[in-house]
A and B are shown apart, each in its own frame.
Chain A
Amino acid sequence: MAVFDLRINGEQMSVDVPPDMPLLWALRDHLNLTGTKFSCGIAFCGSCTVLVDGEPIRSCIATVESIGDREVTTIEGLSPNGDHPLQRAWLAEQTVQCGYCHPGQILQAAALLEENPHPSDEDIDDYMAGNLCRCGTYQRIRKAIRRVEEGRI
């Protein structure tokens, strides 16, 4: 066990965990940030996506030790009032069904638009390919991203 000081959603938080613990479990079980979801545990589905210095990572395999002093953003911290343009667009398109994968989807989309404010359909498909949704909301995710990209929100 070791104490790690993490910067999460603009706050300083510390956890006393083994260095090889994936960030996912430090967030969920030690810091009560349960918006980040466990689904596959092998970085194949994207449900656990968080941003580290703005880059999307799969927190189910990224260890606490690997984070260092970089800034972690989880769904709880994407916007203070939960009204990030993507969150509003997600509601406008009634995108969500069960909702389990969507914290990861939204964070992945936020990183996409940060990196590439005007993605083509192909860019969107490529960037979002690792975020799986069993309810099948892809068409609405695409529309919601497009809405933000075009400033219609």
Chain B
Amino acid sequence: MSTKDLSRRDFMKTTGVAGAGLVVGFHIPWIQGCGGPPPVPMEGGAQPNAYIRIDPAGFIHIVYDDHEMGQGSSTGFLMMACDELEADWSKIVMEEVPTDPSNWHQSISTGGSTTIRLGWVPVRTAAAQAREVLREAAARRWEVAVDECVAKEHKITHEPSGRSADYGELADEAALLSVPENPELKSHEDFWLIGRSTDRLDLPDKVTGKTQFGMDLRLPGMVYASVSRPPAFQGGIRSFDDTAARQVPGVLDVFEVEGGIAVVASDTWAAFKGRQALVVDWDPGPNADQSSDTLKARGVALENEPGDVVGDEVGNFARAFAGAPRKVEAAYDTHFLDHVPMEPMNATAWVQGDRVEVWCPTQGATSGQRMAARVAGVDRENVIFHSMLSGGGFGRRLNSDDTEFAVKVAMNVDGPVQVVWTREDTFAHGFYRPYTHQTMKAGLDAEGWPVAWLHRVYGMGGGTSTGGANNPPYEFPNFRCDAHMEDWGIPIGPWRSVGNTHTCFAVESFMDECAHAAGINPVTYRRRLMEPKDPRLLTCLLRAAELAEYGKEMGDRQGQGVAAWACFGGYGAMVADVTVADDGAVSVDKIVAVVDHGTIVNPEAVRSQIEGGIVLSLTATLKAEVHIANGAAVESNFHDHPILSMGEMPLVEVHFVESTERPGGVGEPPVPPPVPAVCNAIFAATGVRIRELPVDEELLRVT
């Protein structure tokens, strides 16, 4: 019996049935955002949304609902279970994400760097429960005391007599026993797999081309489609002529769906060519005059207008600022960011009467299933939803517009159809990290220490813009974070680390500006303000400064910059070494990162996430963002939106703070600090302060 087809109800039925083995269900809660509220069980209380099943052959199947998109957390999740269960790593089997999210006790959604940190206690508890009933089953079989039965190396051994039985042999007997509610969990010193770098299970097929990503799905009779959509976000279609498109060899059909014109063909190339041959009169919509300049002008106009307070105010900013002997003010701009996953958006759908089947590389299967049901007008349980592996997600695949268009097209096609977005489609119709204009104001006392701090965010979408601004890692006697949020009709969404990418840029750049205004070393300056607020981050900061030899002698137009930030349960400080050429080109030579992620489950995978987070961040800092003109995205492909390449990759050194705290998030925390660390280093090298991204090399050119 394969676990992958088992629904929750099936699992309930199989528990205690001879031959099915031992099943332990458990519940993994979900929290949203950075430092958010404590875990809250969803509808249905703490009912299982994950399972460990030990089959009679001894294989241990683990069912849970998180999506692997390269972050490596699936291997880490299984390692936690294996260690606690004292199982053989080679017998652990990861099962697929359930295909009927409507029959699952929680929204299936992967984001917020949560897989390991939220799974930490529940999966080990379930594994310990399984271990304990296996011990009890063995004790009963041999009529000996449980205390004399030891779980180790995938079997239970009765030490005094030397008898032993494999987990598979005991599974059916263990299934008849009730699991202990609060089994004792192993202590850190007894871990043998947690904390040991372990090869990721998804990698072997990824180096041979065997891995099937969403776009690699091939079904008998499948056709392909491309959808032409209005370039402007609020635009529409006035009219179109498909005469030429229909003459392209391989084009099977052309029709309008809500929000676009679909070209269906016998292969992807014909669909693309047919789509290029369409003659369309687009309606530019109500925002045809909208541009990055109009957005910025709005942000600048609101710099001195108090906005809606975000989080808790401390003291009275306005009074303290007015009375401060020195004032520092600066504003920082960040533009939209596309996620740019290497696999463009795509999904495959097949509509047969009231039954819909979808194959989609997505972070959000529940949302995808809902979308498919809504578009097709069927009940959710009539939608079979296959979560395919993703060629990168970074938050983009939490939206279900890929499924939306696939189902819209499939409703007009007899058979399965794969809707492939071009790179240009993927850039033009993103759910971007929002544009922000951030105004920072600080009042310094006579010695240069900040007594008043204001962070004002102009942006869109609430926490997607402000995340992190209301909770900097520093203590200020008078603090206010406020925001002006406006809806520009541009789709926005969570981009790896969400608000923190740009709020950390403003806070950590401005902190550097204040330190320089005060004439105090930036590390010393941060240290005093961070000490009472965030000791874990301070440890990272001081160690990073030491390991990077912050303050060392450097050459002409070279400099070092530091930044520290905590989010999603992870803490990190980074020091960047840069060289700025006379023509203004910035080379990031080295980044030293000191991170505290609590207990590290799979060290090499964590290191890899940190290296990758830094690269993503450097692209946003140095290379490209998405600008707006005529109500549409300007950048369209890698020629005008370059991303960091091999030769631009700095040497990255990652150091862990040893910790036995529970694991923190890993995917998102390394993204924010490199931005201000590099900008502060550019200031050290050139005396030029970077207040808008990406870095404008013209500002750094020697004249």
Residues of A that sit less than 8 Å from B by CB: 1, 17-18, 21-22, 25, 28-30, 32-42, 44-45, 47, 74-76, 82, 87, 90-91, 94, 96-103, 106, 122, 124-126, 128-142
How many angstroms between the C-alpha atoms of A29 and B269 in the bound complex?
Answer: 9
Q: Which of A41, A141, A142 has the most CB of B within 10 A?
A: A41
Expressed in whole angstroms, the Cα–Cα distance for A130 and B642 within the complex equals 11
Partner of A94 from the list B272, B343, B605, B647 (CB cut-off 8 Å) is B605
B422 proximity list for chain A (CB < 8 A): 41
Query: What 9 pairs between A and B have smallest CB-CB spacing?
Result: A35-B209, A136-B615, A100-B391, A98-B70, A99-B206, A125-B647, A97-B70, A136-B612, A75-B209
Pairs A–B under 8 Å by Cβ, sample size 7: A17-B267, A21-B267, A39-B343, A44-B639, A100-B341, A133-B342, A134-B394
Q: Tell me whether A135 and B213 are in contact (CB under 8 A).
A: no
Q: Is the CB of A91 within 8 A of B204?
A: yes
Most-contacted residue by chain A among B211, B224, B268, B391 (CB, 10 A) = B391
- A35 and chain B: residue at smallest CB distance: B209
Instruction: Select B200's contact among A35, A39, A44, A94, beta carbons within 8 Å.
Output: A94
- Check if A96 sits within 8 Å of B207, measured CB to CB: yes
Grouping DSSP codes into helix (H, G, I), strand (E, B) and loop, the A interface class, with mixed when no group exceeds half, is: loop
Q: Is the CB of B392 within 8 A of A100?
A: yes
8 Å CB contact of A40 from B200, B216, B423, B614: B423
A25 to B390 alpha-carbon distance, docked (Å): 20
User: Cβ of B204: which chain A residues have Cβ within 8 Å of it?
Assistant: 82, 91
Interface residue SS majority, chain B: loop
Residue of B197, B207, B390, B651 with highest tally of chain A CB at under 10 A: B207
Pick the contact of A99 from B202, B609, B637 — CB < 8 Å?
B202
B644 at the interface (CB under 8 A from A): yes
Q: A45-B638, A75-B209, A139-B652 are in contact. List 4 more A-B contacts (CB 8 A).
A: A28-B268, A103-B209, A131-B646, A136-B611
The answer on a CB contact under 8 Å between A97 and B612 is yes
Q: How many residues of B contact A (CB 8 A)?
A: 64
B90 an interface residue at 8 Å Cβ cutoff?
A: no
Q: Taking each of A75, A96, A99, which has the highest tally of chain B beta carbons within 10 Å of its own beta carbon?
A: A99
A95 to chain B, nearest CB (A): 8
B227 interface hit (Cβ, 8 Å): no
Flag if A135 contacts B70 (CB, 8 Å): yes
B250: nearest chain-A partner, CB-CB: A18
- CB contacts (< 8 Å) of B33 on chain A: these are none
Q: When A40-B638, A132-B638 are in contact, do A1 and B342 touch as well, CB less than 8 Å?
A: no
Residues of chain B in range 33-68 having any CB-CB distance to chain A below 8 Å: none
State the Cβ distance, B655 to closest chain A Cβ, in Å. Answer: 15
Judge whether B342 and A39 touch: CB under 8 Å: yes
B501 to chain A, nearest CB (A): 15
A22 cross-chain contacts in B, Cβ below 8 A: 269
B202 partner residues in chain A, CB cutoff 8 A: 99
Q: Which residue of A lies closest to B602 (CB)?
A: A94
Given contacts A90-B207, A103-B209, contact A97 B647 (CB under 8 A): no
A42-B638 CB under 8 A given contacts A76-B209, A90-B207, A102-B206? yes
Whether A25 and B207, one on each chain, are in contact in the complex, defined by CB atoms closer than 8 angstroms, is no
Report whether A25 and B645 are in contact in the complex, using a CB–CB cutoff of 8 Å: no
Q: Which residue of B lies closest to A100 (CB)?
A: B391
Q: Across the interface, which residues of B come within 8 angstroms of A39, CB to CB?
A: 342-344, 391, 423
Smallest distance from the beta carbon of A41 to chain B beta carbons, Å?
A: 6
A146 to chain B, nearest CB (A): 13
Identify A139's interface contact among B391, B420, B649, CB under 8 A: B649
Considering only residues 190-204 of chain B, those with a C-beta below 8 Å from chain A are 197, 199-200, 202-204
B405-431 contact mask (Cβ, 8 Å, vs A): 1 or 0: 000000000000000101100000000
